[in-house]
Structure 1
Amino acid sequence: MTMSYLELTFFLSCLLIQLVPFTVAQYFPKEECISDRGDYTDNSTYQTDLNSLLTSFSNTQVKYGFYNFSVGEVNGIGLCRGDLTPDTCRSCINNSSQDIRRLCPNYKEAVLYYDQCTLRYSNRSIFGTVDTSDSYALQNTQNVSDIDLFTQQRDDLLLDLREKAASGGLLKKYATGEAVADFITIYALVQCTPDLEDQECSDCVADLSKSYSDFLKYKQGGRVMAPSCNFRFETYRFYDTLPDAPPPSPANSSPPPNDATAGDGKSNRTRTVVIIVAATVVSVILISCVCICIFLRMGKPKDKDETEDEILEVESLQFNLGSIRNATDNFSDSNKLGQGGFGAVYKGTLSNGQDIAVKRLSKGSGQGELEFKNEVLLVAKLQHRNLARLLGFCLEGIERLLIYEFVPNASLDHFLFDPIKCSQLYWERRYKIIVGIARGLLYLHEDSRLRIIHRDLKASNILLDEEMNPKISDFGMARLFSLDQTQGDTKRIVGTYGYMAPEYAIRGNFSVKSDVYSFGVLVLEIVSGQKNTSFGDEENMEGLISFAWRSWREGSASNLIDPSMNSGSRSGIMRCIHIGLLCVQENVADRPTMASIVLMLSSYSLTLPLPSQPGFFMHSSTNPETPLLQGSDSGVINASNNVSARVSVNETSITELRPR
């Protein structure tokens, strides 16, 4: 009988020991292998640099748990939980360095989450940059009883810790704390990579908290991890108190054993078996519930009203129609700034004196409402100094309005192609505009949480603020662009003559390289001060790209420079012409990415490759500011190839949604 009891106890103990760690270990490590950054080949320079970087991580011990190294093209960041000892941190980073190569083989960018540390590497700049994409969230399966009280106390605690962590300084941005809700103690932790600014850290955590609020609702515990920040809360202490922190109060200490638990040996043994059996059953039930929840979440169909629900998420941006009518003097013609592809743009002044620009969708537009919803959801999430900033929207009755910041200096074409105003664009200012456009495009292509292909980049879509900083506009009419795509095909060609890449205008093939081509045309226009299809005098008219290529081949590229520029770095101007020609190459694969272009513009020590022949599709007889014909039944014919393509001006961007 004794042997049977011991065997039973041993069996249940072993089962419990196996089950409890499984509920934690099954979630880690969690890899995020990012495919849109490309792959590296075995024995390549990138692989050598990556191996050197990860070896440096493994062989280095840091006091404050933050690693940031670069080797060649590869940048890496490692972050340990703030309460770990240096030895424990190094052990976690060492394990991550080995596992990330195994779990994400040949990926140029990856993130690996462990319970106690995070490791990431990339071929793009990741230092001092907020990144909440590729995040990972877990929830405690237990619900709280008093939801409102618990949620309020939890949110207040996380807000307090968010500010404490953000102000942590350059060595560590980490904070822990506790709060009591209905006799339940909530323990929480907030941490950011210390290379972020204080406000960036606070915004990073706030963004994660907002994104996963529904996922963590009702739960006694949860955690969200992102490359730049993370937070966690539980009803038990899951972190160690730092040496310089005050000891926990007696009220929060574990209570002493109850005298009632004392008794004879047989009673204790019986109670032990009951506890083990109960714990085992609870563990099995919890695991089953988690599996069922995951299955149901994966199988849940999309709500047919999903678009309307998403609009509600940005209610804080909604303006009253009456206030917009007052601001624009009831959309008077005197306040009309221009006419876009899907409606007019008006200047307005709010009651607080703030100037705004209002886009009013055409009432007769068949796709107006869809365009409106897409642009609101898209642009509201995009923040960059070189993008036009959305202030809000209005959706009342038949009115669909978008409210943007007002940019006083209008668009680039008003200065660049004006014989008098062009003198204000001296070379340093033009170079600043080129670099700003490049950085804005890089953000759209690679650094935002959404991948966007503009498809209609041109001088009139570059706004200039009071300091002549460029802001890219009209990138909001979005179409979904799936994660594993680097390009796509469409029968609905949109854009403007002279700026469109040949493969897009002829065959409907689009990619980020389509925008690169448009950027190259724009660079050549900025350098020359001439429209792309009207370069030269009336007797010797030819396309700007054709003239630039011929001049480059003949060694007379300086003929391309705008004569109104009396000063400026001649080598810098010639380098921009060189970059422009690289962007308009006919072979799509030969064109550089925007990341490479930004590097070319910022590093004069970088040797540029020789450009190959550009694509010649648009000719001088076409007005460069004429957009493609409206309506899906219209067609445009390429005289040289006799190719017909359906056209529309109602779709201007391609968007990629990254998982959160």
Structure 2
Amino acid sequence: MCFLRHFLFLLLPIWVLGFSIFSFAAVIKSEESSVVFVSGTPHEIPISQGMGAQSPGPPIVKVVLREDLNKKILIALIVSSTLLCVTVVFLVYLLLWRYRNLKNSFTGIKQKSDSVKSVSTKPIVHKIDSVSVRKGTIPVYDYQLLESATNKFSDSNVLSRGGRGCLYRAFLDENSSVTVKKLDGGGGEIDIEKQFESEVDWLAKIKHQNIISLLGFCVYRQTRCIVYEMMQNGSLESQLHGPSQGSGLTWQLRMKIAVDIARGLEYLHEHCHPPVVHRDLKSSNILLDSEFNAKISDFGFATQNRNLKLPGTLGNRASEYLVDGKVTDKNDVYAFGVILLELLLGKKSAEKPSSEPESVVTWAVPKLSDRANLPNILDPAIKGTMDLKHLYQVAAVAVLCVQPEPSYRPLITDVLHSLIPLLPVDLGGSLRIL
């Protein structure tokens, strides 16, 4: 189709040029035919003259002079020259336009080639790169740049350690810093490849204030890195169970984190079509920025397919998974309830007091119904710092979220509406402190 269009463009000026030459020739021809010689016999006299000649006389020769010939030739030359100039200009413009398009195409191919120099030849990565780089939505980071920015992924730049990777603080330059998640191969290379591809794909599509922002990715040999926006305070897990043991998280900050997580889940469950189930929500996947705004990360297991078996962390798994592997948004609600218990009690989702791990749900739920004893089992970092009515309400929400029967658990929207009134206005809630 493109070839046909270019052929017609070239044919048009040739036709115009031919038409002008033909017109000029026709004018000359018509002028030559306008000269007539009339002589002796009546047969040689033009009709117009023959009608008026009644008497005999000497032979007459009449010549029709070409009075306007020069003028008409001049006009024909002007018209032909004009058409010829227009044709030449048109051809020059067409050639320049074609040259510019070829140059732009070559430049685009060269830029794309340069942008993927650091990408390996793994087929699964090519699928991401070929789509994302072409659309210009996901930058590809050079591995040497990230290695230098994290001081060769040194322990001094570790923000948090998770089950499948480690978060690093990376300083790209004096004014720019990012969070780099370096994936480990603990689950096997194929699993890491699938998780890497899934997370990059999801985060490229999902945009929300409580969902981590994807800045880019890096593939280098067997290493996979995902570049997030800077999250100065690492993960919720490192804040609660790391060296500080939750001392930096006040009651109000914990409620803010809970509300932020609920808002992120509400977006996934209610505003994505079809709904997205995170499938691996846990404190290590909740990242905190400099102001303790919480953002959900690690979408390696997220899905819109409700028939896939749910992976996850012991202690965060809903009971229906243990029975039939059923995946619904209520799985995420259960996991949210576990995080809420961690915020209240300061305990890990699965403690190991003996040879067998004990879920925080198994340990806490029987004790949460005893209001008189509830303040005594709280995280020591927040004891006596909250209104007891608020404490009882948060505990009740947590118990509802971790109910064994999925139908008894609330929707995440209902959970969010229950928590917002407990959070001060300046932190994003509706509670007005007098």
**TM-score (structure 1 length as normaliser):** 0.40
Which residue, out of 175, 182, 192, partners 1:360? Answer: 182
Taking the aligned partners of 1:473 and 1:390, their CA distance within structure 2 comes to: 10
* Matching of residue 562 in structure 1 with residue 379 in structure 2: yes
Matched-pair contact (CA < 8 Å) for 1:534–1:543:
yes
* Matching of residue 550 in structure 1 with residue 366 in structure 2: yes
Which amino acid in 2 is paired with 1:488? N
**What is the total number of aligned residue pairs between the two structures?**
292
**1:579 maps to which residue?**
397
Which amino acid in 2 is paired with 1:367? D
**1:459 maps to which residue?**
283
Structure 2 portions without partners, runs of 5+: 7-125, 423-434
Q: SS at 2:260's partner residue?
A: helix
**1:647 maps to which residue?**
none
Deviation at 1:418, TM superposition (A): 5.2
* Matching of residue 346 in structure 1 with residue 168 in structure 2: yes
Deviations 1:364-404 (A, max 9, x none): 61233333232222102222222221111234555532111
Change (3 A) 1:429 1:307: closer
Matched-pair contact (CA < 8 Å) for 2:159–2:232:
no
CA RMSD of the aligned region, Å?
3.1
From the two aligned structures, give the one with the greater strand fraction: 1
**2:330 maps to which residue?**
513
* Matching of residue 433 in structure 1 with residue 433 in structure 2: no
Change (3 A) 1:333 1:365: farther
Q: SS at 2:226's partner residue?
A: strand
Which amino acid in 1 is paired with 2:334? Y
Taking the aligned partners of 2:129 and 2:320, their CA distance within structure 1 comes to: 36
Taking the aligned partners of 2:223 and 2:162, their CA distance within structure 1 comes to: 16
Matched-pair contact (CA < 8 Å) for 1:558–1:574:
no
Taking the aligned partners of 2:224 and 2:244, their CA distance within structure 1 comes to: 37
Deviations 1:562-604 (A, max 9, x none): 3432322211111000000010111111111111111122357
Which residue, out of 401, 409, 416, partners 2:240? Answer: 416
**1:253 maps to which residue?**
none
From the two aligned structures, give the one with the greater helix fraction: 2
Which amino acid in 1 is paired with 2:410? P
Q: Please say which structure displays the higher CA radius of gyration.
A: 2
Taking the aligned partners of 2:243 and 2:165, their CA distance within structure 1 comes to: 29
Matched-pair contact (CA < 8 Å) for 1:517–1:583:
yes
Which amino acid in 2 is paired with 1:432? K
**1:388 maps to which residue?**
212
**1:502 maps to which residue?**
319
Q: SS at 1:596's partner residue?
A: helix
Taking the aligned partners of 2:370 and 2:302, their CA distance within structure 1 comes to: 42
Deviation at 1:430, TM superposition (A): 1.2
* Within-5 A mapping of 1:237-248: none
Change (3 A) 1:350 1:563: closer
Deviation at 1:489, TM superposition (A): 4.4
Deviations 1:449-493 (A, max 9, x none): 563222222222222211112122212444452xxxxx4242xx4
Q: SS at 2:361's partner residue?
A: helix
Change (3 A) 1:558 1:547: farther
**1:329 maps to which residue?**
151
* Within-5 A mapping of 1:161-172: none
**1:373 maps to which residue?**
197
Q: SS at 2:199's partner residue?
A: helix
Deviation at 1:419, TM superposition (A): 7.7
Which amino acid in 2 is paired with 1:466? S
Structure 1 portions without partners, runs of 5+: 1-144, 147-304, 482-486, 605-660
* Within-5 A mapping of 1:50-69: none
Taking the aligned partners of 2:365 and 2:155, their CA distance within structure 1 comes to: 43
Deviations 1:248-270 (A, max 9, x none): xxxxxxxxxxxxxxxxxxxxxxx
* Percent of aligned pairs sharing the same letter: 36
Matched-pair contact (CA < 8 Å) for 2:215–2:227:
yes
**TM-score (structure 2 length as normaliser):** 0.59
Deviations 1:349-373 (A, max 9, x none): 1135311122234466123333323
Q: SS at 2:275's partner residue?
A: strand
Deviations 1:109-145 (A, max 9, x none): xxxxxxxxxxxxxxxxxxxxxxxxxxxxxxxxxxxx9
Matched-pair contact (CA < 8 Å) for 2:159–2:235:
no
Matched-pair contact (CA < 8 Å) for 1:551–1:559:
no
Taking the aligned partners of 1:523 and 1:533, their CA distance within structure 2 comes to: 14
Taking the aligned partners of 1:574 and 1:515, their CA distance within structure 2 comes to: 22
Taking the aligned partners of 2:399 and 2:295, their CA distance within structure 1 comes to: 23
Matched-pair contact (CA < 8 Å) for 1:372–1:477:
no
Taking the aligned partners of 1:449 and 1:441, their CA distance within structure 2 comes to: 13
Taking the aligned partners of 1:359 and 1:543, their CA distance within structure 2 comes to: 27
**1:220 maps to which residue?**
none
Taking the aligned partners of 1:423 and 1:476, their CA distance within structure 2 comes to: 31
Q: SS at 1:422's partner residue?
A: coil
**1:641 maps to which residue?**
none
Q: SS at 1:376's partner residue?
A: helix
Taking the aligned partners of 2:358 and 2:137, their CA distance within structure 1 comes to: 51
**2:109 maps to which residue?**
none
Deviation at 1:495, TM superposition (A): 1.0
* Within-5 A mapping of 1:518-557: 518-534=335-351, 543-556=359-372, 557=374
**2:307 maps to which residue?**
488
Deviations 1:121-177 (A, max 9, x none): xxxxxxxxxxxxxxxxxxxxxxxx99xxxxxxxxxxxxxxxxxxxxxxxxxxxxxxx
Matched-pair contact (CA < 8 Å) for 2:169–2:179:
yes
